[in-house]
Amino acid sequence: MDCLFCDLERDLIIENDYAVAVYDSYPVSAGHALVIPKRHAATIFDLSEDEYAGCFELVKCLKPMLQEKHSTSAFNIGANCGEVAGQTIQHAHIHVIPRYEGDVDDPRGGVRHVIPSKAYY
């Protein structure tokens, strides 16, 4: 099985027993990072409880690191689970996306923008 995230060749930002964090190769903003479990699993729903907790431990640890390095105070956190949801690499991963004042005209709705017509309420 060839898996881009199983054969990861990137500098790590941080890691623990269950996961690693790296910068995204196609960032949507400065500091966009990925938390990737070390064991191959298709989506975050396929992780063990320990792996899931380990991944979100790194999400939490990334926050102050990215804040300091990239001068941001807001984030979008998300995981695409399945092709219909936009997942293109079939190895679970969590996006940690720093947000910046003025990066979009109206940020209201945040992750709801995955379906643009449903973003505003």
pLDDT in tens, 12-67: 999 999 999 999 999 999 999 999 999 999 999 999 999 999 999 999 999 999 99
Active site members: 93
CA distance 18 to 60: 14
Asked if 95 contacts 76 with a C-beta cutoff of 8 angstroms, the reply is yes
Tell me the domains of the chain and their CATH numbers.
14-101+109-118 (3.30.428.10)
CA distance 121 to 87: 26
Strands (E) in the chain, as ranges, are 14-15, 19-23, 33-37, 74-78, 94-99
Asked if 95 contacts 37 with a C-beta cutoff of 8 angstroms, the reply is no
pLDDT for 26 equals 93
The tens digit of pLDDT for each residue in 70-100 reads: 999 899 999 999 999 999 999 999 999 999 9
pLDDT for 105 equals 86
